[in-house]
Structure 1
Amino acid sequence: MEKIILGKKVTMEDVICVARGYAQVEFSDEYCNRVNKCRSYVEQFSKEGQAIYGLTTGLGDNCRKFVPEKDREIIQRNHILAHTCSVGEPINEECTRAIMFIMLVHFGCGYTGIRLETLNLLRDMLNNNIVPRVPGHGSVGYVSLEAHIGMVLIGEGKAWYKGKLLAGKKALASAGLKPTVLSSKEGLTIVSGTTSVTAFTALALYDAVTLAKTEDIAASLTLEVLKGTLMSMDERIMKVRPHPDQERTASNIRALLKDSAIIEKYKGHRVQDALSLRCVPQLHGAVKKFIKAGLDVLEIELNSAVDNPLIFEQADGTAIALMGCNADGTYVGMAADVLAIAITDLCKMSACRIDRMLNHLVSELPAFLNKNAAYNNGLMMIQYTAAGLMGELRILSHPAVVDNLATCANQEDYVNMGYNAAKKAYDSVQLAKYICAIELICGAQALDCYENIGPATGTKAVYNLVRKVVPVMECDSPLEPYIEMVAKQVIDCDYIRNVEEKIGKILF
């Protein structure tokens, strides 16, 4: 089993390996040393009794109230209990695991003051796949989801272990683990930061890259079956508007269709194609640009210290606690809002291409790609699914970070709403894979209408992969299982791998 050793810079791929691939997490000596060193400063501060937010004081508007040393363990436990208030359906396993992994990354940066003992327990929970039950609604960007994970650390709450939902203490015991008693500052550290925002966004961005590449593939198949022209993909057009992502998209489509007998036969069939075919490099390119912008934000956020307060060693060897707001989720939240918009735009064009394939008035193909219209509906209803999904995507594309409600007696008069943005982006990608799947299914069915003309090498590979799970639709049958199977192929990168084996790398 793959291992991720924390101590150096982490990547989005590391998050995926742990969240989805169940990679085991280990700590390097460097990681352990900086955690222990920072912890020693926290213990020193606690003895000295200076006013430090969440360490010697209460939280939020209670920051004016001093907490004596004898009560600090109780207060840290209370921080977890009080913040455990998100509601509704729990988030899924991969999202919870991603949050737990990013907690380990952020807490191990050497500026939080959490104990290595606590991080060892969180790591062991992750490595044993103890998955806390984390309700998924009611976060403004931090605190509540993470508190549900903290509950299991202290032997409270609930968690899944080997398929069973157990009391937190029992889940730990089943894996041979014992709960911890939180010490100074640890309760605050657990609920602070941008871990949930970053986790959802990391998963969404990873899948968005896959979707953007696969939509280039789907669009190429659609262009071919609609007797399109490669004129609009001409390298000369791209060079005079030199957006790199636009150029790379056009290059992908040219590579996919370079030996298409269909494209060659119908060269000059139209003066120009409809915009959903002609404008693919421009729209897909823009989508990729803003996905990349999100990736840049994510790379920094994954490797940041996001607690409050943060502990710093000074030049003279002493330490200082600085109160700030690195726990704010706006950077990632805004990137997630933009991602949801980009994904919706990507699907908007895909939905237009789906319509062009199914609409015999413009496709020059049988209505709904059905050769036996007297008895069968063909793929008529699959477009309704795409339309419904587009309606949901448009709702999800409304930005979240622009909203605000003052909280905590106006001590937190601004909240970032990054969690809602990140969750929207994640949900958008989950819906978008179905629209991509529908376009691929329609494209394969349309290609069957060309009995004596061969497709391109690249699109033939796409067709063969669709046909592994979807038969030629000669009579009506339930379409949902086929959409699900192709959507899984999409998100598992199957189309990208298959095409790259035939024509080389799909550029991003």
Structure 2
Amino acid sequence: MTKVYIDGNSLTLQDIVDVARKNYTVGLTDEAVEKVKKARAFVDKLVDEGKVVYGITTGFGKFSDVMISKDEAKDLQRNLIISHACGVGKYFPIDVVRAIMLLRANALAKGFSGIRLETLQTLIEMINKEVYPAIPEKGSLGASGDLAPLAHMVLPLIGEGEAYYKGQLMSGKEAMEKSGINPVALTSKEGLALINGTQVLTAVGALTAFDAMNLLKLSDISVSLTMEALNGITDAYDPRTHALRPHQGQINTAKNVLNILEGSERTTRQGEIRVQDAYSLRCTPQIHGASKDAIKYVLDKVALEINAVTDNPLIFVDDEYAISGGNFHGQPMALAFDFLGIAIAEIANVSERRIERLVNPQLSGLPAFLTEHGGLHSGFMIAQYAAAALVSENKVLAHPASVDSIPSSANQEDHVSMGTIAARKAREIYYNASRVIAIELMASTQAIDFETADKKLGKGTKVAYDKVREVVETLHEDRVMYKDINKSAALIDNNSIVDAVEAVVGELY
């Protein structure tokens, strides 16, 4: 099995995906081991000397002025975990949990947190032996990091809480026993080192951004199929136009669509049937491209955050100094993930408008709702309703979470990011958008089937059409449609359409 080695500096988004979804195992580099040991030695020195350092020899939050003795250090860290495990709601899916654990381990491996090596190794062993803490989705303010959900991550580590082992939910103690992993008795600084950070919001947002990249490629494929169905005008994609407004996402989208449509006998040139297309076809490079550029910005932020130290206090071994700062504050990612949600929502918005053009006979020239026997059959009438409902829900979800803040810890923590809510909303928006695109794939292939003349599809659209038709048959009379939507959506979830089209036309951007 392939392994990802972490050192706190070189983790990539692809590494996260490999560990989260492909069950790659995790290991520490030799350099990381040494850094962790040195930081821990300095923490032990601070405790032995009785120095006043937040979270090491003091309480937490509003209790930062309460001194903690050396004898109370273990109780302090255990109490921190069990008291902070206040998450609510359904549990995060396993891929997100694996990503959370990996990101936390990577931050600790950087050597600025003061955790013991054996504690970090136990967390990594849990990843490798499939012990996944049950982490509720809700309850984080995104500062001081993701305290509540990360506390749930730590519970099984200390033999508490609940965890999945080999896919079965059980007590954390039982999961550790069955896996052969010994629980840890936390000592000074360790509880705080494990839960004070942005790893939950970053894990959710990073996986969503990765999926959004592929959805944007698929959206270029789906609009290409709709162009085939509606005899779309390709002049609007001419690279000369986009060179005059050189946003990279816009340029890439126009290039993608022309490559996908290469060889098509169904698309038209301006003036052949009509002079201009509606915006949902003509302005696709500008619309899709803007979302691509937004996601590029988010990915740049993700690349920084996944190798950042978001702990508090920070241990600077070389300077023999501990600094209590605010790297746990999620604002840099909260803004980015709000932007991510908005960018994905727009892809669904324009896709739904294309679906409407496909099913509306006044706009398409095709049979109403793409059914051969309108009246007796409803065809795609309610499929468009579903898409409209999803995009409307997205508009509510796209309201920024980061503009809100509620003071906590007796106003000691008087501004918080709500970044975890921003990431979770972006994930839900992504899900809705992927189902809208799934409906467009179905509607466009259905519309293509009304063409009686033998006109070739483009090089890429033919491949995409065939992939859809492998799982969804042409609709000749009404049937249970949600099953078709689920089958079409599965092609998005497994990325099979993008993979198949890229195999023919080259990489999409």
TM-score (norm 1): 0.97
AA aligned to 1:263 is T
AA aligned to 1:501 is A
Other-structure match for 2:5: 5
* 1:316-375 alpha-carbon deviations (Å, 9 max, x no partner): xx5100110001111111100000011111110000000000111110111111112243
Other-structure match for 1:248: 252
Q: 1:39 offset after TM fit, Å?
A: 0.7
Q: 1:42 offset after TM fit, Å?
A: 0.6
Q: 1:266 offset after TM fit, Å?
A: 8.6
| Contact 1:194–1:306, Cα closer than 8 Å, also in 2 | yes
| Contact 1:169–1:178, Cα closer than 8 Å, also in 2 | no
Find the partner of 1:188 among 183, 192, 196.
192
Unaligned runs of 5+ in 1: none
Other-structure match for 1:35: 36
1:183-262 equivalence runs, <5 A: 183-262=187-266
AA aligned to 1:495 is I
| 2: CA distance, partners of 1:65 / 1:266 | 75
| Contact 2:205–2:427, Cα closer than 8 Å, also in 1 | yes
**Are 2:337 and 1:336 aligned?**
yes
AA aligned to 1:39 is R
Other-structure match for 2:290: 286
1:444-463 equivalence runs, <5 A: 444-452=445-453, 453-463=455-465
Unaligned runs of 5+ in 2: none
| Contact 1:83–1:191, Cα closer than 8 Å, also in 2 | no
**Are 2:130 and 1:129 aligned?**
yes
AA aligned to 1:278 is R
Find the partner of 2:278 among 274, 279, 298.
274
AA aligned to 2:497 is Y
AA aligned to 1:418 is G
| 2: CA distance, partners of 1:288 / 1:448 | 31
1:44-443 equivalence runs, <5 A: 44-141=45-142, 142-264=146-268, 268-314=272-318, 318-443=319-444
How many residues align structurally?
A: 504
Other-structure match for 1:23: 24
AA aligned to 2:463 is A
Find the partner of 2:481 among 479, 486, 489.
479
| 2: CA distance, partners of 1:163 / 1:250 | 44
AA aligned to 1:145 is P
Following TM superposition, the consecutive aligned residue runs of length 4 or more in structure 1 with deviations greater than 3 angstroms are 264-267
* 1:152-202 alpha-carbon deviations (Å, 9 max, x no partner): 110000111123221111110001111100011011111101000100001
AA aligned to 2:240 is R
AA aligned to 1:336 is F
Q: 1:424 offset after TM fit, Å?
A: 0.7
AA aligned to 1:206 is F
AA aligned to 1:436 is I
**SS class of match (1:381):** helix
| 1: CA distance, partners of 2:412 / 2:268 | 67
| 2: CA distance, partners of 1:40 / 1:268 | 77
AA aligned to 2:155 is M
Q: 1:498 offset after TM fit, Å?
A: 1.0
| Contact 2:371–2:476, Cα closer than 8 Å, also in 1 | yes
| 2: CA distance, partners of 1:448 / 1:68 | 77
**SS class of match (2:169):** strand
Q: 1:267 offset after TM fit, Å?
A: 6.2
| 1: CA distance, partners of 2:411 / 2:265 | 67
| 1: CA distance, partners of 2:392 / 2:276 | 29
Q: 1:492 offset after TM fit, Å?
A: 2.0
| 2: CA distance, partners of 1:338 / 1:48 | 47
AA aligned to 2:306 is L
| 2: CA distance, partners of 1:265 / 1:190 | 60
| Contact 1:226–1:357, Cα closer than 8 Å, also in 2 | yes
| Contact 2:165–2:175, Cα closer than 8 Å, also in 1 | yes
Cα RMSD of the aligned pairs, angstroms, is 1.2
AA aligned to 2:450 is C
| 1: CA distance, partners of 2:363 / 2:426 | 33
* 1:367-416 alpha-carbon deviations (Å, 9 max, x no partner): 11111224321111111110111121111100001101111111101111
| Larger CA deviation: 422-431 vs 51-60 | 422-431
**SS class of match (2:266):** helix
| 2: CA distance, partners of 1:377 / 1:361 | 16
Q: 1:265 offset after TM fit, Å?
A: 8.5
AA aligned to 1:216 is D
**Are 2:495 and 1:500 aligned?**
no
| 2: CA distance, partners of 1:395 / 1:423 | 13
**SS class of match (1:202):** helix
Identity between Structure 1 and Structure 2 (%): 39
AA aligned to 1:213 is K
AA aligned to 2:480 is P
| 2: CA distance, partners of 1:265 / 1:105 | 53
| 2: CA distance, partners of 1:376 / 1:294 | 44
**SS class of match (1:159):** strand
| Contact 1:145–1:196, Cα closer than 8 Å, also in 2 | yes
| 2: CA distance, partners of 1:92 / 1:375 | 42
* 1:415-463 alpha-carbon deviations (Å, 9 max, x no partner): 1111111111111112211011111111111111113222112111110
* 1:235-264 alpha-carbon deviations (Å, 9 max, x no partner): 111111111211111011111112111115
| Larger CA deviation: 371-380 vs 22-31 | 371-380
| 2: CA distance, partners of 1:332 / 1:491 | 25
| Contact 1:227–1:266, Cα closer than 8 Å, also in 2 | no
| Contact 1:90–1:134, Cα closer than 8 Å, also in 2 | yes
* 1:219-240 alpha-carbon deviations (Å, 9 max, x no partner): 1111121111011111111111
| 2: CA distance, partners of 1:381 / 1:313 | 63
| 1: CA distance, partners of 2:101 / 2:271 | 55
